[in-house]
């Protein structure tokens, strides 16, 4: 299994509260509404910043983290090429996130504890 991690940067012009509310209350519903995409996803988690919490190290200018698990890199690639992902989910991402400023990477988890 692989995990696709996105360090999310909010879209310019949105307050942090507007961004956070949209992502939390709307985007997840949009993602779940597209079975052609969801059939590839094993788990999807949104990590919302805890307002006022002191970060360890550099904050890096990110506003949240999304994690999506897939059975393989091939499944991940197929999911993000799905026409209904491109037609429905991608445009919704553009409403709250600055995709050019987001950082993404694919990892395999190694459980330590």
Give residue-wise pLDDT tens across range 34-59: 999 999 999 999 999 887 776 665 55
CB count within 10 Å of CB 104 equals 11
107, 5 Cβ separation under 8 angstroms: yes
Q: Average of pLDDT values for 83-95?
A: 98
In this structure, CATH architecture of domain 2-51+63-107: 2-Layer Sandwich (3.30)
pLDDT confidence of residue 21: 96
Which residues are bridge partners to 65 per DSSP?
A: 7, 47
User: What's the pLDDT band for 6 if we cut at 50, 70, 90?
Assistant: very high
pLDDT confidence of residue 87: 98
Residue 96 dihedral angles phi and psi, to the nearest 5°:
-130, -15
pLDDT confidence of residue 94: 97
């Amino acid at each position: 299994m692989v995990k696709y991690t996105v360090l999310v940067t909010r879209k310019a012009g949105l307050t942090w509260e507007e961004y956070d509310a949209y992502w939390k209350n709307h985007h997840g519903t949009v993602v779940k509404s597209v079975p052609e995409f969801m059939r590839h996803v094993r788990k999807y988690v949104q990590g919302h910043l805890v307002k006022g919490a002191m970060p360890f190290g550099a904050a890096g200018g990110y506003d949240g983290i999304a994690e999506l698990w897939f059975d393989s890199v091939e499944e991940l690639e197929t999911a993000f090429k799905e026409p209904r992902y491109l037609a429905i989910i991608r445009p919704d991402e553009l409403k709250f996130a600055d995709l050019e400023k987001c950082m993404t990477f694919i990892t395999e988890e190694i459980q330590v504890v």
